[in-house]
Structure 1
Amino acid sequence: MAHQHGASSDSAPPPSTRTRKPHMRMERRRLLTAALGTAAAAMVPLATASPALAAGWQRVPHRGIRPDDPEGRAPLANPRRGFRYEMSYNAIDLTSPWQNEADHSPDAARTLDLLEREYGPGANLTQLYFYLWDFATSTIPQSALDNIESVFRGLRRKGYAAVLRFVYDDGVRENRRYTVQDIQRHIGQLAPLVARNSDVVAVWQAGFLGAWGEWHGSYYRHETYPDAVTAIMTTLVDALPPGMHTQVRYAEKRDMITNKAILDRVGFHNDYVTLGEGEWDYYVPDNPGWPSYLDVTPTRMVDGEMPWDKGQSADPYAWSTVIPGVPAARRLQTLRFDSLSLVHNATVTVPAWKAAELTERQTADALLPVSDGYFRGRDGRLVARTQFEYLRDHLGYRIEVREARYDLSGARGGRIPVEVDVVNRGFAAPKHPRPARLVLLDADGRTAASADTGADWRDWRPQGRAETGDDHSGPKVTTVRGELAVPSGARGRHRLGLALPDPAFPGKGRAVRCANGSVTWVDGVNVLAEMRLGG
Structure 2
Amino acid sequence: MLVKAVIFCSVVFLIIFSLVPAVSAQTPGDLFPGDVNEDFKVNLTDLSILLANFGKSPATRQEGNVSPNDTIVNLTDLSLVLSNFGKSFSPTATPTPTRTPTPTSTSGRTRVIYTPSTEEIANPERGFMKQSNIFLDQAYSSKLGKQNPNDTVVWIYFHMEKYRDPRDGKGVTVSNYQFVPLEPVGSGKGLDVVKKTFDDARTKGLKLVIRFLYVGYSGIGSTQDFANAEPDAPLDVTLKHIDQLAPLIQQNKDVILAVQAGFVGYWGEWHSSKYLSPVANRKAIVDKLLAVVPQDRMLQVRYPKYVQNLYGGPISAIEAFNQSNVSRVGIHDDAFLKDDTDDGTFTSNAMGQKISTYCDGSSNTTQCWRDYYAKTSQYTPAGGEAGTHSNPPSPLANCPNALTQLNNLHFSFLHNGYAKVVLDTWVNQGCMPEIRRRLGYRLVLKEALIPQSVRVGGTLNLDVTLSNEGFASMFNPRPVFIVLQNASNRYEIPVVSVDPRRWEAGREHTVIAAVTIPSNVSPGTYTLGLWLPDQATSLRGRPAYSVRFANTNVWEPATGINRLTNNFQVTN
Mapped partners of 1:49, 1:194: distance in 2 = 50
Give the 3 Å change call, closer, same or farther, for CA 279–455 of structure 1 in structure 2: closer
Tell me, yes or no, if structure 1 residue 293 matches structure 2 residue 337: no
Report how far residue 177 of structure 1 moved.
Answer: 5.6
Match of 2:233 in 1: 178
Judge conservation of contact 1:276–1:283 (CA < 8 Å) in 2.
Answer: no
SS at match of 1:159: coil
Deviation string, structure 1 residues 151-205 (Cα, Å, up to 9, x no partner):
2222222222111100011257973462222222211221221222222211100
Partner of 1:485: 517
Give the aligned partner of residue 230 of structure 1: 283
Separation in structure 1 between the aligned mates of residue 555 and residue 341 of structure 2, nearest angstrom: 46
Q: Distance in 1 between matches of 2:239 and 2:533?
A: 33
Counting only pairs closer than 5 Å after superposition, residues 56-455 of structure 1 correspond to structure 2 as 57-66=109-118, 72=119, 75-94=120-139, 106-109=141-144, 112=145, 116=147, 120-136=148-164, 137-142=179-184, 143=187, 144-171=190-217, 175-176=230-231, 178-220=233-275, 222-223=276-277, 225-257=278-310, 261-274=324-337, 276-277=339-340, 280=343, 282-283=345-346, 286-287=365-366, 289-307=369-387, 309=389, 319=393, 323-346=397-420, 348-357=421-430, 387-411=431-455, 413-444=457-488, 446-455=489-498
Alpha carbons of structure 1 residues 198 and 44: separation in structure 2 relative to 1, 3 Å: farther
Contact between 2:301 and 2:330, CA under 8 Å: does it hold in 1?
Answer: yes
Deviations 1:409-457 (A, max 9, x none): 532554433222222111112111111211111235x423423242111
Task: Supply the AA of the counterpart residue of 2:138.
Answer: D
Task: Render the CA deviation track for 1:251-271: whole Å, top value 9, x for unaligned.
Answer: 222233158851211111111
Q: Is the 8 A contact 2:453 2:571 kept in 1?
A: no
Task: Indicate if the aligned counterparts of 2:332 and 2:384 stay in contact, CA closer than 8 A.
Answer: yes
Instruction: Assess, with a 3 A threshold, how the Cα gap between structure 1 residues 214 and 279 changes in structure 2: closer, same or farther.
Output: same
The farther-off stretch of 255-264 and 143-152 is 255-264
Partner of 2:504: 461
CA displacement at 1:533 relative to structure 2: 3.4
Q: How many angstroms does 1:306 deviate by? A: 0.9
Distance 1:326 1:295, change over 3 A: same
Q: CA deviation at 1:398?
A: 0.8
> 1:258 & 1:488 partners in 2: Cα distance?
49
Describe the SS at the equivalent of 2:569: strand
Counterpart contact for 2:479–2:494, Cα < 8 Å: no
**2: CA distance, partners of 1:167 / 1:135:** 10
Residue matched to 2:90: none
Q: Structure 1 residues 443, 484: closer, same or farther in 2, change over 3 A?
A: farther
Which residue number corresponds to residue 527 of structure 1?
563
SS in structure 2 opposite 1:181?
Answer: helix
1:289 alignment partner, SS class: helix
Paired AA for residue 160 in structure 1: L
* Bigger Rg, which one: 2
Change (3 A) 1:490 1:230: same
Cα separation, 1, equivalents of 2:139 and 2:268: 18
Distance 1:126 1:210 in 2: 22
8 A contact 1:83–1:342 mirrored in 2: yes
User: Given the alignment, which residue of 528, 552, 558 partners 1:496?
Assistant: 528
Q: Confirm or deny: 8 A CA contact 2:339 2:394 kept in the other structure.
A: no
Q: 1:275 to 1:45 in 2, by over 3 A?
A: farther
**Could you say which residue in structure 1 is the equivalent of 2:100?**
46
Determine whether 1:514 maps to 2:549.
Answer: yes
Residue 416 to residue 493, structure 1, CA distance change in 2 (3 Å): same
Distance in 1 of aligned mates of 2:104 and 2:311: 56
Q: Residues of 1 paired with 2:422 and 2:337: CA distance?
A: 10
CA distance in 1, matches of 2:128, 2:258: 14
Distance 2:547 2:290 in 1: 26
Q: Tell me the equivalent position of 1:12.
A: none
Output the aligned Cα RMSD.
2.8
| CA–CA separation in structure 2 for the residues paired with 1:263 and 1:254 | 8
Give how far 1:54 is off. 1.4
User: Is the partner of 2:336 in helix, strand or coil?
Assistant: coil
Deviation at 1:244, TM superposition (A): 1.2
Secondary structure at the counterpart of residue 307 of structure 2 = helix
Instruction: Give the AA of the match of 1:497.
Output: G
Please give the per-residue CA displacement for 1:483-520, whole angstroms capped at 9, x wherever unaligned.
24155572333111111111123245711111111313
CA contact (8 A) 2:480 2:530 kept: yes
Distance change >3 Å, CA 177–CA 250, structure 1 → 2: closer
Cα distance change of structure 1 residues 329 and 320 upon mapping to structure 2, 3 Å threshold: closer
Matched residue of 2:545: which SS? coil
> Contact 1:435 / 1:500 at 8 angstroms: preserved in 2?
yes
Measured in 2, the distance between the counterparts of 1:156 and 1:265 equals 24
How far did residue 43 of structure 1 move?
6.6
Larger displacement relative to structure 2 (258-267 or 242-251) = 258-267
Identical columns (%): 26
Change (3 A) 1:355 1:61: same
SS of 1:443 mapped into structure 2: coil
SS in 1 for 2:551: coil
Aligned length: 419
Question: CA 1:231–1:460 in 2, change beyond 3 Å: closer, same or farther?
Answer: same
Q: Distance in 2 between matches of 1:130 and 1:217?
A: 18
User: Within 2, Cα distance between the matches of 1:511 and 1:128?
Assistant: 22
Secondary structure of 2:265's partner? strand
Change in 2 beyond 3 A, CA 1:262/1:242 = closer
Separation of aligned partners in 2, 1:413 and 1:502: 28
Letter in 2 for 1:48: T
Distance 1:146 1:50, change over 3 A: same
Conserved in 1, the CA contact under 8 Å of 2:338 and 2:396? no
Alpha-carbon shift at residue 145 of structure 1 (Å): 0.8
Using the alignment, how far apart are the partners of 2:217 and 2:335 within structure 1? Answer: 17
Unaligned runs of 5+ in 1: 1-40, 67-71, 96-105, 312-317, 358-386, 464-474
Counterpart-to-counterpart distance in 2, 1:443 and 1:390? 38
What is the SS of the residue equivalent to 2:477? coil
Check whether the contact 2:531–2:561 (CA below 8 A) recurs between aligned residues: yes
CA distance in 2, matches of 1:484, 1:438: 11
Q: 1:419 to 1:307 in 2, by over 3 A?
A: same
Give the match's secondary structure for 2:264.
Answer: strand
Q: Higher relative CO (CA 8 A, sep ≥ 6), structure 1 or 2?
A: 1
- Contact 1:247–1:268 (8 Å) recurs in 2: yes
Query: Does the 8 A contact of 1:434 with 1:500 survive in 2?
Result: yes
Shift of 1:408: 4.1
CA distance 1:496–1:169, shift in 2 (3 Å) = same
Q: Which amino acid aligns with 2:373?
A: Y
